[in-house]
Amino acid sequence: MHGLGELEAAVMDVLWHEQPLKVRDVLERLETPRKLAYTTVMTVLDNLHRKGWVTRELEGKAYSYEPAMSREEAAARALRDVLASSGDPEAVLMHFAKSASPRESELLRRSLPRKKRSSTP
């Protein structure tokens, strides 16, 4: 996901599949090539909280974490960031529109609000 490191993205993937989860729960569900320490996952979750990607609630002595947004909202936010950093968002959108499948084009058409026609010429 745009704006996240590899481990942060893996943690978010775990949380998008099941939540709320505590650090140990996330650690048990993470599929990484190397064994991670509890403190590593705790630091990643703390960083994600600081960045606004997750919310947390204290349950006893440990925090329980949930995504602050859905995967789809995060993808839309990433797209917005790409457009903002492109230098020419209009050109990027035009290239995207040309590459969209017929299904994607139809979804875009249906989701955009229709402008009301003025009754005055």
In a domain, residue 15? The reply is: yes
In a domain, residue 94? The reply is: yes
In a domain, residue 60? The reply is: yes
In a domain, residue 26? The reply is: yes
Residues 53 and 82 in one domain: no
Taking the model in full, what pTM does it have?
A: 0.77
Residues 53 and 95 in one domain: no
In a domain, residue 62? The reply is: yes
**Mind listing the pLDDT tens digit for each residue in 6-51?**
999 999 999 999 989 999 999 999 998 889 999 999 999 999 999 9
CA gap 41, 76 in Å, rounded: 26
Residues 60 and 80 in one domain: no
